[in-house]
Chains A and B, each alone.
Chain A
Amino acid sequence: MILGKVIGKITATQKDEKLKGASLRIVQLINHQGKKEGSPAAAVDFVQCADQDLVYLVKGREASLPWRPEDAPIDLGIVGIVKEMNKIE
């Protein structure tokens, strides 16, 4: 899984029918020191996160597993809101 910061929201009424009701968030992926990793991406929110939240995400096929109906076209999903992190420097 990877870390990310929620920086926005996307509204898309016209989309794949399996994604109806999905909340699309804009996320800036970061490493554990906060350095940006690539450009912002769109992710489906599974945990009702808020703007500015530090979250962790799952990529690929696994990102579609929490969603119902099954086999929705999702390759990036927010699966947790980080509450606390301790790291050695």
Chain B
Amino acid sequence: MTYGEVVGSLWATIQEKDYQGKKLLIVEGIDLAEGTKTGETIIAIDLVDAGIGDKVLVIYEGGSARLALKDEKTCAEAVVAGVVDQIKLIPSYETRRNLR
């Protein structure tokens, strides 16, 4: 899964039917060890009511996304699967993460 921060949301009226009524979030990837932005932007369907600024876990692979959406035929590849409360790293990584 990809770790990232919700930096916005997105609306579309003209879209594939699978997206009707789904909330789309803009997530920016964050490096789990360094805590720095990876520059990767992911548009993901929100399944856990994540808000802007939340740190989240994104499933960024079609097969698992379709399982999470409980619909084998939906054309989506990314879903927000969880909101992260806390990250704990082993000491050697923790110091590096805080030094940044």
Which of A's residues lie within 8 Å of B, judged by CB?
1-3, 30-33, 35, 37, 46-49, 56, 58-63, 65-66, 77, 79-88
CB of B41 within 8 A of CB of A85, answer no
Which of B's residues lie within 8 Å of A, judged by CB?
7-16, 18-19, 24, 26, 28, 39-44, 52-53, 62-63, 65-66, 73-78
CB of B76 within 8 A of CB of A82, answer no
B15 to chain A, nearest CB (A): 3
Supplied contacts A2-B43, A31-B40, 17 more A-B pairs, CB within 8 Å: A1-B78, A30-B41, A32-B7, A32-B41, A56-B43, A58-B76, A62-B65, A63-B75, A77-B75, A79-B15, A79-B18, A79-B75, A81-B12, A83-B12, A84-B10, A87-B7, A88-B8
Interface of A is mostly: mixed
The contact of B8 among A35, A56, A77, A86, by CB within 8 Å, is: A86
